[in-house]
Structure 1
Amino acid sequence: MKVTLISIPVRDQEKALKFYTEKLGFLKKKDVPLEGGNRWITLVSKEAQDGPELLLEPAPLHFEPSKVYQEALMEAGIPYTQFDVTNLDAEYERLTKNGVEFSMKPTVMGTVKVAVFNDTCGNNMQLVEEL
């Protein structure tokens, strides 16, 4: 068994697609129209194009418990998920230049360095570099 798909709840799929591709650098893998104007949009990392796909899931628009959970995480400042990087300082600088807003600058926490940014679609995301 292996992980092939990870869902990220987003409030606006088009806005999320632009943010994750243009700002973060993910690549669009699938974009299939669905009912109600929704789409099955998946992204992959440039470094692992055959790796797990991120699904830009419009659940908060159609499933109230998803919206409540997403809002609670944001209010508490808890990241929805984590992306690993090899050089957090360089990634922080690149993303900041791309207009990504961080609520937590790179900070050493034991054996890792972490930073947290807002994906503009209802989620905090955490970047982690193992030291």
Structure 2
Amino acid sequence: MAAVADDVNPESFFHVALKVEDVDACAAFYREQFGAELLERGHAGDGEGATAVEHAALSVADKRVYLFDRAPYEAAGLTDDLPTGFLHFGFVVDDVEAAHRELAASGVEFLMEPSVFGDLKIAFFADPAGVRIELLEHR
């Protein structure tokens, strides 16, 4: 098994992100059916670029579920419109910039360079099958 680069070794699996037609209806579903706790509700008009999205952050069991009306990388114009459903999953790393440098040096192409999203620093790339992965650092 190959050694994991120090700066890319995730400390935890943090969340899954879904694109939904109606953020409020889906948040209500997860609250009612799974006892999810609403942690945050954001509105597109409060942001710009990648942060100009309707979103809700929910705590479900021991993980977070993010519901978006469109992905941050869609809002930033970095990808074409994506269908509803799975968007990406996120891993927490100590230092997004360092992980980005290490992955980029090994040939990984990023969909979204490291940037600030609320209280997080984030970066997005895809695995060889096209599954989108987010690296995030709590600031």
- So what's the TM-score if we normalise by structure 1? 0.43
| Bigger proportion of residues as helix | 1
